[in-house]
Structure 1
């Protein structure tokens, strides 16, 4: 029979160690009637008498002695399990599973993860870099680092650092094809698209919001490949400032249509839930937020 009444097991062990039910009641700080009831329930559950009781003394029956040895082992295992959980609530250890966009992850997340793990050697990290939106509930990952607004109401989002998107191209491309002066002119330009569709809608803000349908001269599923195509003069690309900010500062890329800003795509940490978050997840997100905010350096790139 499955025994799931730990208070009864604990009461039985304390009766044996204390020498009597009344002494056990005092040590457990419960009424004698409670201890007596728990012992009676336990004996009924196992189907045998565990203690022989007289007015002067109590002794374990043969079955009770055998059972007592195993009860002590059970209670010790329970205590060790509780200690393990207590330590796990305090220690940054175990396996941390993270997903992040490919190019952003290689540039920014990898060094942060390496430094965080050096601070917490007991932590193992599994980092998946993909531009696809991963279903955390299906994959079992602890968190996703993403650009864009939260679409799933079952998820929790935490803002990590500033971000905005820019349309940009290399000086060589702009010298050959000219710089568009209005978003509507993008239809005549070579555009680099990320995904699997040859057409996309690029939205711009300004005095009047503008949505432009563009055709992909190059389409790639890899954000870093799109970035490299732009550096090679292959066309105009829309990227996060985190990906191209340094190229804008160094003039390897130039911003296109700087008077027409694009909708922001916030940089966020996404969680399946917020309750009972493991210490490793909470500590990593806190560390990640500090490091990414320290890494922000592209205010000067806005006007480039």
Structure 2
């Protein structure tokens, strides 16, 4: 099929250039190749398309009819290529994004609205789940995730460091007191959450790692529920700055063990292929990176 298209291109150029040698120059091909392509086309069609003498060439009756159709076909091919090129550069179509539930509702959903205002030809399908999604099997363009990338076949771009803190409500601290060091957490009411909640809490202090095993008073699979439990005085919780920054600023929550840093679980944009990444995905990732860059600076 590719050879057939090349033969049509050569034939049309011979006609427009007025000679085989002119077509060869314009196509940057040798005269022998141009002559061979024309002969192959005439042999395949079983008709002579050009009458050629040493001084001039002219289209046969069959050649005139075929040339008219040939020009239309090549024009359609050119338009098809241009259409693909336009769509390749356009931010349009359907953008399928998955994100964690709480972060998706509070941060990503508003960003999709702002992004679509700039690109009204786009339709956004937003799936919120705290479970890991196989973006290839599920047909997802982009996953917004916290933590390191487990699948090395995926591409990840860091969006923000996601600083986390320990915090609790003033009512809880008035009742139980402030722990002076991580080991004291073992005797406090702690709130753990996640799809696979861990009882091991890790810190960095003076350049050294510190770990403690807590005894949860509450375990939940939902980050917003953990937030609510903490606000209600249920105990001490690890939360991201983006989630509790306003509460810390207003005094509804108070930082616990501020001198002990919690290892960051970076916010990342994960996608399957960087080489042929659609403009809608690339632009949205850039958009998110720009809009989210200040989310974690409070209290750092």
Task: Using structure 1 for the length normalisation, give the TM-score.
Answer: 0.84
Q: CA shift at 1:271, angstroms?
A: 2.7
SS in 1 for 2:82: helix
The total of aligned residue pairs comes to 297
Q: 2:46 aligns with which of 45, 48, 69?
A: 48
Q: CA shift at 1:262, angstroms?
A: 0.9
Q: Which position in structure 1 is the counterpart of 2:210?
A: 210
Q: CA shift at 1:296, angstroms?
A: 4.6
Contact 1:142 1:271 in 2 (8 A): yes
Contact 1:246 1:298 in 2 (8 A): no
Q: CA shift at 1:118, angstroms?
A: 0.7
Q: Which position in structure 2 is the counterpart of 1:261?
A: 261
Q: Which position in structure 2 is the counterpart of 1:252?
A: 252
Q: Which position in structure 2 is the counterpart of 1:96?
A: 95
Q: Aligned in 2, Cα 1:30/1:211: closer, same or farther, shift over 3 Å?
A: same
Q: Deviation string for 1:48-79 (max 9, x for gaps)?
A: 235253425443465x6665555444322321
- Calculate the aligned-residue CA RMSD, in Å: 2.7
Q: Which position in structure 1 is the counterpart of 2:77?
A: 78
Trace 1:1-304 onto structure 2 (pairs within 5 A): 2=1, 4-18=3-17, 20-44=19-43, 46=44, 48-49=46-47, 51=49, 53-55=51-53, 57-60=57-60, 62=62, 68=67, 70-197=69-196, 200-207=199-206, 208-299=208-299, 302=300
Query: Whole-Å Cα distance in 2 between the matches of residues 221 and 277 of structure 1?
Result: 33
Q: CA shift at 1:206, angstroms?
A: 0.9
Query: Gaps spanning 5+ residues in structure 2: where?
Result: none
Query: Whole-Å Cα distance in 2 between the matches of residues 41 and 222 of structure 1?
Result: 69
Contact 2:242 2:295 in 1 (8 A): no
Q: CA shift at 1:23, angstroms?
A: 4.6
Q: CA shift at 1:194, angstroms?
A: 1.8
Q: CA shift at 1:4, angstroms?
A: 5.0
